[in-house]
Amino acid sequence: MSDALTAQRLREHSGTAMGVLVAISACHMMNDMIQSLLPALYPMLKDSYALTFGQIGLLTFTFQFTASLLQPLIGAWADRSPRPYSLAAGMGITLCGLLLLAFAGSYALLLCAAALIGTGSSVFHPESSRVARMASGGAHGLAQSIFQVGGNIGSSTGPLLAAFIVLPHGQWTVAWFSAVALLAMFVLMHVGRWYSTHGMQRLAQGARHAVAAPRRQVIVALAVLLGLIFSKYFYLASLSSYYTFYLIEHFHVSVRSSQLHLFLFLAAVAAGGLIGGPLGDRLGSKFIIWASILGVLPFSLLLPHANLLWTAILTVPIGLILASAFPAIIVYAQELLPGRTGAVSGLFYGLAFGMGSVGAAVLGVLADHVGIVTVYRLCAFLPAIGILAALLPDVHKPTSRPAAAIPA
């Protein structure tokens, strides 16, 4: 074999497959847009079904707990026995939950719909994060950010679509979004084909050159990351699940206005997710984790004491800074445990959903007893837990430039 041919094959296995990254990011956008319809409908569902804040929290708990319980198991299973077309299957489960949500006539059916949507998410996220790693070509932070920003855009547009489509026309119009799920399934079938022919070879090649961290470092780092995920997602639960109620109660805005404010915050989250990964490639994941979680603290402390205008303004840096942490956390953990991409992705996406579900349930019950405004004052201190990032060992080295992009 000639040197030129050897070099060409190396580039094919190591370059960034940008087409695949864009495809998986677009599917992440469609998946999370569908999922974000559920919390966006909470004000309407609360009135239609006479729900308490505790019942609203249980809906979020059901959705996020099913995802958090299954994701680590599915991720570890995928490491041992990859299933390239499971991505499309997971989207099919989400489609079933979406249709049930559209036509549910009782609270029990709403809980079932939430469980199906969570189960679909548990299949989609760890496997699609594996695909992003496969397609990264060494630019792991960039790949995770491109993948993550799709989900963040989807999460931010869900409330907007709910405000202008579902709220004016009724719960049944959720079924219109089944076309989005079908489109995502079609794209994921093509991604699955690339996964089976190229992706697994790329992932195996990267794992052969990785060096595992010492066991003590792994234990310390995982414990710290657990605390950081708790801080990040408890605080995010206070905004994603109850921000609309806070605005309605505290500032007496309309439901549509509260949804637009939520869209502004989630759009900032989408932008923040795109920033964190590339910065982590250059500066190191540990630095980005430290800056993104602890850096939110000044803004979160001001938020409960601001007027409506400044509340809207403050949520922008909160979303930007806080969202930049997650791509860096995923890359850091994947470097910590090489060769276990699916397990790591499933674990941390599962932790994210799990902490969000527990946070939503706890904060909902707390809001029923002390009021939503008091909940926001208490949650303002959660980002202070970000100081734990100082304990993270240095296992990820920043890179001067990412690998060159090649077509998928």
In a domain, 314, yes or no: yes
Does residue 188 register a pLDDT over 90? yes
Number of domains in the chain: 1
In a domain, 7, yes or no: no
Does residue 14 register a pLDDT over 60? no
The band of 183, judged by pLDDT with boundaries at 50, 70 and 90, is very high
Q: What is the mean pLDDT of residues 343-365?
A: 79
Does residue 163 register a pLDDT over 60? yes
CATH of the domain at 156: 1.20.1250.20
Whether 133 and 140 have beta carbons less than 8 Å apart is answered as yes
In a domain, 6, yes or no: no
* pTM listed for this prediction: 0.71
What pLDDT is recorded for position 304? 92
Strand partners, 17: 406
In a domain, 8, yes or no: no
In a domain, 4, yes or no: no
What pLDDT is recorded for position 400? 44
In a domain, 5, yes or no: no
What's the domain range around 277?
14-403
The band of 116, judged by pLDDT with boundaries at 50, 70 and 90, is very high
Looking at the chain, the number of H-run helices and the number of E-run strands are 19, 2
In a domain, 97, yes or no: yes
What are the C-alpha distances in Å from 13 to residues 35, 53, 139, 210, 405? Answer: 34, 51, 13, 16, 11
Does residue 24 register a pLDDT over 80? yes
What pLDDT is recorded for position 6? 40
What pLDDT is recorded for position 67? 74
What pLDDT is recorded for position 4? 44
Whether 272 and 148 have beta carbons less than 8 Å apart is answered as no
In a domain, 351, yes or no: yes
Tell me the three state secondary structure of residue 242. coil
What are the C-alpha distances in Å from 406 to residues 18, 22, 25, 130, 202? Answer: 7, 13, 17, 19, 14
The band of 208, judged by pLDDT with boundaries at 50, 70 and 90, is low
Whether 229 and 344 have beta carbons less than 8 Å apart is answered as no
Does residue 37 register a pLDDT over 50? yes
pLDDT in tens, 53-76: 888 888 878 887 787 777 888 888
Report the mean per-residue pLDDT for the chain.
81
Query: 105, exposed or middle or buried, with CB in 10 Å at 0-12, 13-18, 19+?
Result: exposed
pLDDT in tens, 258-295: 888 988 898 888 788 788 888 888 888 888 888 887 88
